[in-house]
Amino acid sequence: MSRFKRVRCSLLVLACLGTMGTAFAQTQAAARQAALANIGRTATPAEVKAWDIDVRPDFKGLPKGQGSVRQGEVLWEAQCASCHGSFAESSEVFTPIAGGTTAQDVKSGRVDGLMPGANQPNRTTLMKVSTLSTLWDYINRAMPWTAPKTLTPDEVYAATAYILFLGNVLPEDFTLSDANIREVQDRLPNRKGMTTAHAMWPGKELGGTARPDVQGSNCMVNCKAEVVVKSFLPDYARNAHGNLAEQSRGVGESRGVDTTRPASAAAAQSGSAVAQAERAPAGIPVAAVVKTAASGAASVMPLLQKNTCVACHGMDNKLVGPSFKDIANKYKDRADAVNYLSGKIKAGGQGVWGAIPMPPQALSAAELAQISQWLAQGAAK
Ligand code: HEC
Ligand code: HEC
């Protein structure tokens, strides 16, 4: 058990003791505490202080300090620009941080670029963030990505000031500090862009009254047996952030898939459980996919119709896409035809038969397996 968990356990016991009213509950709690006597210890004030770093929208928790735009620029170039770009404009590791806000937005507190119909290619941090505390807090706790919590409060002020300068919220000669941060909050472009009407925050425990916009419950009876996955990462985007197989942690069971190859090829070559599981839509055991047997067209025809494959594919004739007979012929000698075909049907594709693309097809794992096997076995009528 990690130290962190042990300390949390002991905090929990204290919390229980404090709230339980009846003698019975106290006896129980005492018994529990006795049982846990040797587990954990009370967190030290220094430990609590190290965790208690959040800065709230009303700036409660904000440390004193200051940093200028110019200091921020130096810091940014040294510690942030490699990932976020010199002007916080890069989309290399994340969506851009600055950009997309105007002087008018600073005045109105609503970002025009977020309005319906706005011709804005990318939503940046400065377009979306409505509380300056969030920006400060996030940099303070999480950045730079490779060395979080290494910045001093003054450096966090400087970085925040520089980002705001890049977004034309602050002038070049500005020094941001705990004394003037509220005034700067009043210049944040999207400061009026946040609503709490849907009650995600504050929750009921803090006196919120509206109902959350999403209601959920665990399904216990008559639950859907099949999960239909409606969107997949297209092949061309798989490797956008380099090869995940080389980036994943060297410990634990989950290794990233080889993103240098299309999903189907990566699976066929490695044959790994991860790759196979990746190919099967979520929640469906791979075995169930593989076991489903295909027979003649009589059994697949309803599936081809139901999934509107027949709108683009004829049995023997080319329509929008190639005929099923031609597809079957093309791959009849390919050992991994079932894998390949199910990968292609799922992900869609372009360029094998011509310029017209096939959009990704959302069908169940069982249907996918059945159709692919039928095709791989010659697309018999
Ligand atoms: C090694 C790459 C790297 C470096 C260096 C880096 N960042 Fe980041 N930054 C990231 C990644 C990745 C994210 C997205 C993290 C996530 O959402 O999980 C991010 C997110 C952010 C965000 C939040 C954007 C949002 O809208 O949620 C801010 C602000 C930010 N970084 C500021 C900084 C500052 C300031 C520095 C320098 C002190 C810095 N970053 C250095 C990689 C980096
Ligand atoms: C909107 C039209 C359209 C629909 C609907 C459609 N396809 Fe396709 N399909 C195409 C086109 C176009 C191609 C050729 C793509 C290419 O050239 O790479 C194609 C190619 C294929 C291929 C061959 C892939 C390859 O790499 O050779 C298979 C298999 C296939 N489709 C099966 C299906 C199945 C099964 C369905 C129904 C679940 C379906 N298609 C629905 C248009 C469609």
User: How many residues are there in the chain?
Assistant: 381
Non-local CB neighbours of 130 within 8 Å, separated by 6+ positions: 188, 190, 191, 192, 193, 194
Centre of ligand 2 to C-alpha 107, Å, is 51
Confidence band (pLDDT; 50, 70, 90) for 291? very low
Nearest CA to ligand 2 atom 39: 309
- What local confidence, expressed as pLDDT, does residue 202 receive? 62
Nearest CA to ligand 1 atom 36: 80
- What local confidence, expressed as pLDDT, does residue 257 receive? 75
Residues 192, 110: contact at Cβ < 8 Å? yes
Locus of tokens 């009528």: 381
**pLDDT at residue 166 is higher than 50:** yes
- What local confidence, expressed as pLDDT, does residue 305 receive? 86
**pLDDT at residue 293 is higher than 60:** no
In 3D space, the residue among 171, 182, 194, 99 whose CA is nearest the CA of residue 136 turns out to be: 182
Q: In degrees to the nearest 10, what's the CA dihedral of 75, 77, 83, 85?
A: 130
User: Tens digits of per-residue pLDDT, 298-307?
Assistant: 788 888 988 8
- What local confidence, expressed as pLDDT, does residue 159 receive? 98
Q: Residue 104: exposed, middle, or buried by beta-carbon count in 10 A (0-12, 13-18, 19+)?
A: exposed
Residues 97, 85: contact at Cβ < 8 Å? no
Distance CA 19, CA 304 (A): 61
C-alpha angle 355-356-360 in degrees, rounded to nearest 5: 125
Nearest CA to ligand 2 atom 13: 321
> What six digits make up the tokens of 197?
């009407």
Residues 55, 133: contact at Cβ < 8 Å? yes
In 3D space, the residue among 273, 270, 278, 299 whose CA is nearest the CA of residue 342 turns out to be: 278
- What local confidence, expressed as pLDDT, does residue 119 receive? 77
Confidence band (pLDDT; 50, 70, 90) for 30? confident
Q: Which of 303, 304, 312 to mutate to test the pocket of ligand 2 (most atoms within 8 A of CB)?
A: 312
